[in-house]
């Protein structure tokens, strides 16, 4: 376990933000930590949608249960937090 | 006794170069300070300043200018303009004085470097007057706000701001240190006078003077118009230096300095002047939008100045033209949302009428920045104030030191421009900021942004209280909504009417 700073680029928001997370956090937990600083402050919640995490510019999301420490991110590296509609 | 006309003796009198015999030319003009670009004295003697003024003429004109500005102030001191001014206008004054006044003193030192170390005699003469100008500007812009210090603690930041680690001041110092405090005489002439003063001070001092007059603040309008008349003279120091450089095969180096300085100036004005013009100035007193001012004062004038000089437009001109309609909206939202961290009270500027104006001036505003403001407005109307403030830091750019931001909402395009250098990950707000850094990485690499300082444990405790203490913002100085959220009443009424309907 180790505190790990990431830079959150949250879909629909206007600014990058510093977010403190932990290497043991899953990507869903990383998304929730980033959402705390954007959703309900400057970005409307999107009921029914989930949030996914990807490296900036990547096409693929990290698996939702992947631990942050396994993602190979550098401290303060920017991740994009993207809304995803449920798949039917 | 007959007196010769100025032009009969000026050129001869200011021919003050000589051939040193006791020391070498490099000892007389150390390259690090003079920045002669390898050119000997005689190349610089061709420097021909377009605006020639003698010291007696200078003193006479300056005396008249001071008499004008100070007498307007004295006449209006009892008029209670400050007490009766719209709170948004007071914020304009506070932001301006804090960001500018002490910087003027710093600029006097930069002018003094040209005065002593330039190999061009004409430049030495002009910058002697320029140095006196900057001292005058520093003194006036500290004296004029001083009468308001007893009424409003934030006015004390006219003097205090420059010595603090407040994030906007870190950004301002980083820029001014780069273009004028740590450069050689010739680079100062290019970066400070040609790049910054030619275009951007026009923006701050003429554009703002028009808004001030509209707002009825004639003291402020006269003060900054008086300053601008000096700027328009000493801003001409850089042009002839560029000419000498271009004629001697140094165009690429000259162009690079222009490109770096213009970009940095743009970013600083996007946070300082953009919000002032499009959000703080009361709607009925706005002369033009920030974008319109930029297009008139910066784009048109600067394009002409560059072309006349034989320079190219900066490589990033298309990016710049796009940014002038976007960046300052984000800078405003950032300084509003993080309002406890500034020394003035930001005016939200998002009443229904103001939003209609923004949509007209910036088509698509409601679908972008407006979407974020909708959430902020809902929280204010609901009294959910905890959500109308931040709980973390915005990430700031390692070049301009300002938040890394973009367009939100339906046209979301926010992006980081990272760079790994010597094992450290740097973040930039644009391709251009990153390019500026890459031109001379060692010059900038050691600087720590406010976020770097936070992560290094230099800000304790690691919360808002610790951050405010680090930024020297005492209670009573922290910013809050300029109108105490009165603008939200109309939204509350609209919501009640909707429910009733």
Q: Which DSSP string do the residues of A54-71 spell out, in sequence order? A: EETT-SSPPPTT-BGGGT
pLDDT in tens, B92-125: 999 999 999 999 999 999 999 999 999 999 999 9
pLDDT in tens, A31-57: 999 999 999 999 999 999 999 999 999
* Average pLDDT of the segment spanning B250-273: 96
Residue in chain B lying closest to A77 (CA): B425
Whether residue B204 is predicted with pLDDT greater than 80 in this model: the reply is no
Cβ B302 vs Cβ B258: under 8 Å: no
* Backbone phi, psi, residue B19, to 5°: -95, 110
Query: How far A2 CA lies from chain B's nearest CA (Å)?
Result: 14
In this complex, do A14 and B415 lie within 8 Å of one another by their Cβ atoms?
A: no
What are the residue ranges of helices labelled H in A1-88? 27-36
What are the residue ranges of helices labelled H in B248-326? 251-275, 290-293, 301-309, 317-323
Averaged confidence pLDDT in chain B: 94
In this complex, do A12 and B425 lie within 8 Å of one another by their Cβ atoms?
A: no
Element containing residue A22 per DSSP (H, E) = strand A17-22
User: Alpha carbon B467 to chain centroid distance?
Assistant: 24
Nearest CB partner across the interface for A12, out of B393, B412, B427: B412
**Residue partners of A72: CB distance under 8 A and separation at least 6:** none
User: Alpha carbon B406 to chain centroid distance?
Assistant: 20
pLDDT of residue B214: 83
ipTM for the assembly: 0.98
Structure tokens at B416: 């980081």
B153: left (phi over 0), alpha (psi -120 to 50) or beta: alpha
Could you say which DSSP state residue B343 is in?
S
Q: Find, among B99, B112, B273, the residue nearest to B173 by Cα.
A: B99
* Backbone phi, psi, residue B404, to 5°: -85, 110
Percent of chain B with pLDDT over 90: 79
Could you say which DSSP state residue B14 is in?
T
Instruction: Measure the CA–CA gap between A18 and A7, rounded to whole angstroms.
Output: 5
Reported as a pLDDT band with limits 50, 70 and 90, residue B284 is: very high
Identify all chain A residues contacting B393, using CB atoms and an 8 Å cutoff: 17-18
**Residue partners of B440: CB distance under 8 A and separation at least 6:** none
Contact status of B392 with chain A (Cβ, < 8 Å): yes
Per-residue b or e along B311-327, where b marks 16 or more CB atoms closer than 10 Å to that residue's CB: bebbebbeebeebbbbb
Q: Find, among B352, B319, B346, the residue nearest to B334 by Cα.
A: B346
Instruction: Measure the CA–CA gap between B97 and B344, rounded to whole angstroms.
Output: 11
């Amino acid at each position: 376990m180790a505190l790990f700073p990431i830079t959150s680029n949250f879909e629909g928001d206007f600014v990058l933000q510093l977010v403190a997370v932990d290497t043991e956090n899953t990507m869903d937990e990383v998304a929730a930590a980033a959402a705390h600083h954007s959703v309900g402050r400057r970005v409307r919640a999107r009921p029914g949608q989930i949030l996914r995490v990807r490296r900036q510019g990547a096409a693929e999301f990290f698996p939702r249960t992947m631990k942050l420490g396994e993602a190979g991110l550098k401290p303060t590296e920017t991740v994009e937090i993207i809304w995803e509609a449920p798949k039917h | 006794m007959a007196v010769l006309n100025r032009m009969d003796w000026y050129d001869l009198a200011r021919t003050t170069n000589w051939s040193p015999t006791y020391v070498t030319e490099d000892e007389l003009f150390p390259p690090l300070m003079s920045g002669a670009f390898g050119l000997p004295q005689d190349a610089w003697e061709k420097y021909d300043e377009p605006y020639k003024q003698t010291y007696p003429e200078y003193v006479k004109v300056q005396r008249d200018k001071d008499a004008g500005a100070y007498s307007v102030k004295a006449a209006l001191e009892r008029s209670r303009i400050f007490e009766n001014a719209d709170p948004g206008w007071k914020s304009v004054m506070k932001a301006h004085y804090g960001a500018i006044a002490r910087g003027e003193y710093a600029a006097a030192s930069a002018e003094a470097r040209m005065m002593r170390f330039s190999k061009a005699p004409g430049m030495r003469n002009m910058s002697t007057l320029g140095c006196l100008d900057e001292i005058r500007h520093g003194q006036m812009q500290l004296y004029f706000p001083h009468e308001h210090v007893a009424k409003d603690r934030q006015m004390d930041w006219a003097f205090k701001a420059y010595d603090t680690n407040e994030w906007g001041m870190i950004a301002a110092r980083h820029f001014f240190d780069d273009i004028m405090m740590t450069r050689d005489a010739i680079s100062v002439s290019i970066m400070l006078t040609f790049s910054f003063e030619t275009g951007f001070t026009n923006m701050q001092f003429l554009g703002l003077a028009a808004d001030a007059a509209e707002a009825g603040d004639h003291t402020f309008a006269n003060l900054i118009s008086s300053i601008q008349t000096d700027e328009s003279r000493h801003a001409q120091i850089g042009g002839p230096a560029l000419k000498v450089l271009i004629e001697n095969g140094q165009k690429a180096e000259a162009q690079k300095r222009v490109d770096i300085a213009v970009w940095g100036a743009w970013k600083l004005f996007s946070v300082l002047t953009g919000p002032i013009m499009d959000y703080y100035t009361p709607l009925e007193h706005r002369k033009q939008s920030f974008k319109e001012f930029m297009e008139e004062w910066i784009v048109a004038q600067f394009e002409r100045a560059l072309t006349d000089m034989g320079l190219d437009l900066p490589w990033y001109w298309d990016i710049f033209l796009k940014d002038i309609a976007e960046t300052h909206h984000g800078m405003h939202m950032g300084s509003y949302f993080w309002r406890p961290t500034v020394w003035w009270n930001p005016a939200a500027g998002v009443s229904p009428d103001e939003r209609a104006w923004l949509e007209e001036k910036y088509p698509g505003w409601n679908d972008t920045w407006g979407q974020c403001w909708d959430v902020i407005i809902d929280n204010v109307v609901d009294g959910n104030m905890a959500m109308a403030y931040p709980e973390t830091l915005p990430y700031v750019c390692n070049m301009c030191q300002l938040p890394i931001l973009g367009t939100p909402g339906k046209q979301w395009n926010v992006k980081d421009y990272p760079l790994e250098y010597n094992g450290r990950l740097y973040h930039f707000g644009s391709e251009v900021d990153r390019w500026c850094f890459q031109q001379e990485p060692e010059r900038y690499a050691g600087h720590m942004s406010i976020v770097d300082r936070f992560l290094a444990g230099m800000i304790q405790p690691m919360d808002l209280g610790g951050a405010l203490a680090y930024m020297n913002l005492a209670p009573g100085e922290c910013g809050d909504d300029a109108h105490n959220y009165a603008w939200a009443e109309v939204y509350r009424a609209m919501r009640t009417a909707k429910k009733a309907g």
